[in-house]
Amino acid sequence: MKRLAVVILAAGKGTRMQSDLPKVMHEIAGKPMLRHVIDTCARLAPDHVVVVTGPEMPAVEAAAAPHALAYQLEQRGTGHAVGCARPAFGDQGFDEVLVVYGDTPLITSQTLGRMVEERRLSNAAVVVLGMRVAPPNAYGRLVPDAAGNLDAIVEATEASPEILQVDLCNSGVMVIDGGVLFDLVDRIKDDNSKGEFYLTDIVGLARGDGRLARIVEAPARELIGVNSRVDLAAAEAILQERLRAAAMAGGTTLVDPASVFLAADTVLGRDVVIQPNVVFGAGVTVGDRVQIKSFSYIEGASIGAGAIVGPFARLRPGSVLAEDVHVGNFVELKNVQLGRGAKANHLTYLGDATVGAGSNIGAGTITVNYDGFGKYRTEIGERAFIGSNSSLVAPIKIGDGAMTAAGSVVTSDVAADAIAIARARQVDKPGRAAEFRNAQRAKLKK
Ligand code: UD1
Ligand code: MG
């Protein structure tokens, strides 16, 4: 069995993001860029993963868990950053070491797999991932030899006018022979225009040792490096296109794909229909045949098969809808379980509650779950009928088959099959409306 290690460079602060958050912690599709890279690498089942982080980046450390951490205290170049990973290797040996950047979140496991495969087949010291970019601007250029092998990587800042014409660029991703990696890295010098240790110099060093270097190409769209908020938005757009395509391939109808925003972890069943303008935050699972109508915002929710949600529904974390539940317009749910076939169709807030199967929650119902200090639970049984405009003051239990009268403020438990009426009794004054109108008109005539 060949052993594979991964080194993820994530020490950069990302000055151009203008942010207090380390660059790699900015999210696309609801997940930090670093986690995208970690999760993609995980598909190769590596034996060891090292995340190289900077000093005082606790968020990066947390996102890297449970993988090994290495620290680069001063940013002295990509070669130096890889050298800093060495202590995190201990005395373990690896056949291949894959180096990726934490700010290049769209790379696919297929591409990484092709690179590892190429390294094994060719026994090259280094396999570099190239991309065609026009204009190639600041990227390092991949200079091939006559046989099509990689001769050298030349940084744009060091390149002659002829080399600047080369449009095959270094994405930064490399797979390196684990037997020689740190020997090569130790020999990198900083005698260049930036005074940095360039990882790219290992190609020339390996060639000097009589070893081979190879190029694998991938589309530039997959290799976008995020340095600014504009890049972040571009990466988000590409990822959304991928997620939408995958959703449709899996049997979900997106009536207007461009207006549906998915999270990286959104799970959609078969024959789901999503109308235009729906947003998914992290942690949503949608069962088969669910309909989600326009302008709904859904996060941290599980929606059972056959349910209908929206339009204008807001499902917050902890919303669990069983099969065939209906949640309609201007309904907000939070930390609530709705049993099979339960309905809350209009203008309702249900929080910290359970609603039994087949219960109907009338328009304007509110679970009064918060008193400014604590949160309290509302438990509604099966087949209950909550009248319109009921306030259920928690903690409270409404039994199976119970009813609350419209407009009630319910403050104590309601037994099964009982009806609770908690509102002022109606008083009728015959003729008083007409008397009132006449009096007002008489005043106007004066
Ligand atoms: C690097 C490559 C260049 C390639 C480009 C692709 C080198 C010398 N150059 O250039 O050939 O075309 O990426 O985007 O490798 N990092 C650290 N510590 C450091 C320096 C960098 O962790 O000391 C991390 C950065 O956070 C970033 C990545 O390594 O994620 C690349 O660094 P960056 O400074 O952007 O390299 P480039 O100059 O763009
Ligand atoms: Mg860069």
Question: pLDDT tens-digit profile of 26-77?
Answer: 999 999 999 999 999 999 999 999 999 999 999 999 999 999 999 999 999 9
Q: Is 80 in the pocket of ligand 1 (CB under 6 A)?
A: yes
Residues 84-121 have pLDDT tens digits of 999 999 999 999 999 999 999 999 999 999 999 999 99
140: DSSP letter: P
- Active-site residue, 346 included: yes
Gap from CA of 78 to ligand 1 centroid (Å) = 5
Q: Predicted confidence band at 137 (pLDDT cuts at 50, 70, 90)? A: confident
Distance 14 CA to ligand 2 centre (A): 9
* CB of residue 72 inside a 6 A radius of ligand 1: yes
245 Cα: distance to centroid of ligand 2 (angstroms):
29
Tell me the three state secondary structure of residue 10. Answer: strand
Nearest CA to ligand 1 atom 22: 11
Task: Tell me what the mean pLDDT of segment 170-185 comes to.
Answer: 98
Ligand 1 binding pocket mutation candidate from 33, 51, 78 (most atoms within 8 A of CB): 78
Ligand 1 site, residue 130, Cβ cutoff 6 A: no
Kindly give the number of the ligand 1 atom that is closest to the alpha carbon of 198.
8
As a whole number of angstroms, the distance between CA 172 and CA 48 comes to 20
Closest CA to 405 of 387, 378, 417: 387
| Span 386-411, pLDDT tens digits | 999 999 999 999 999 999 999 999 99
Rounded CA gap, 446 and 442, in Å? 7
Question: What span, in angstroms and rounded, lies between the C-alpha atoms of 18 and 387?
Answer: 51
The overall average pLDDT reported for the chain is 97
Instruction: Specify the pLDDT at position 136.
Output: 85
Residue 24 beta carbon below 6 angstroms from any ligand 1 atom? no
Cβ atoms 318, 300 nearer than 8 A: yes
- 284-293 pLDDT, tens digit per residue, is 999 999 999 9
CA distance 446 to 443: 6
Residue 135's pLDDT is what? 87
Please report where in the chains the tokens 């995208």 appear, as a residue: 36
What is the distance between the alpha carbons of residues 375 and 26, in angstroms, rounded to a whole number? Answer: 32
Please report the pLDDT score of residue 13 as a whole number. 83
Tokens 């290049």 belong to which residue?
Answer: 104
What local confidence, expressed as pLDDT, does residue 99 receive? Answer: 98
CB 9 near ligand 1, within 6 Å = yes
Question: Which string of DSSP letters, residue by residue, matches 377-433?
Answer: -EEE-TT-EE-TT-EEESSEEE-TT-EE-TT-EE-S-B-TT-EE--SPPP---TTHH
Does 311 score more than 90 pLDDT?
yes
Residue of 7, 34, 101 to test ligand 1 pocket, by largest number of atoms within 8 Å of CB? 101
Which residue's CA is the nearest one to ligand 1's atom 36? 78
- Cα(227) to ligand 2 centroid in Å equals 7
Using DSSP bridges, classify how beta strands 150-154 and 141-144 pair: parallel, antiparallel or unpaired. Answer: antiparallel
* 75 ligand 1 Cβ < 6 A: yes
Q: What CA–CA distance (Å, rounded) separates 399 from 356?
A: 9
The answer for residues whose C-beta is within 8 angstroms of residue 223's C-beta and 6 or more apart is: 104, 106, 107, 129, 131, 171, 173
Write the residue with the smallest CA distance to atom 37 of ligand 1.
Answer: 139
- DSSP letter for each residue of 225-259: ---SHHHHHHHHHHHHHHHHHHHHHTTEEESSGGG
Q: What is the pLDDT of residue 1?
A: 81
Tell me the average pLDDT across 219-239.
Answer: 96
User: Ligand 1 pocket, 77 CB below 6 A?
Assistant: yes
Q: DSSP letter at 222?
A: G
The pLDDT of residue 446 is 85
> Looking at the CA of 78, which ligand is closest?
1
CB of 81 sitting under 6 A from ligand 1: yes
Q: Which two tokens stand for residue 432?
A: 């008083």
**pLDDT, mean of residues 15-36:** 97
User: What are residue 397's DSSP bridge partners?
Assistant: 379
Nearest ligand atom owner, CA of 159: 1
Percent of the chain with pLDDT over 90: 98
Q: Whose CA is nearest to atom 39 of ligand 1?
A: 139
Which residues are registered as beta bridge partners of 143? Answer: 152
> How confident is the model at residue 265, as a pLDDT?
98
* Beta-ladder partners of 51: 8, 69
* Over residues 234-251, mean pLDDT: 98
The number of the ligand 1 atom at minimal distance from the alpha carbon of 77 is: 23
CB 336 within 8 Å of CB 352: yes
* Torsion, Cα of 123, 129, 130, 135 (10° steps): -160
Q: Is 155 a pocket residue for ligand 1 (Cβ < 6 Å)?
A: yes
Query: What is the reported pLDDT for 96?
Result: 98
- What is the rounded CA–CA span in Å between residue 289 and residue 303? 10
Pocket of ligand 1 contains residue 198 by CB under 6 Å: yes
Q: Which ligand is nearest to the CA of 202?
A: 1
C-alpha 180 to ligand 2 mean position (Å): 25
CA–CA dist 142, 128 (Å, integer): 9
Helix, strand, or coil here: 41? helix
Q: What angle do CA 113, 283, 368 make, to 5 degrees?
A: 170
Is the shortest distance between the CB of 53 and ligand 1 below 6 Å? no
On whether the CB atoms of residues 100 and 176 are closer than 8 A, the answer is no
Ligand 2: centre distance to CA 225 (Å) = 6
The DSSP element (H or E) to which 138 belongs, if any, is none
Residue 12's pLDDT is: 87
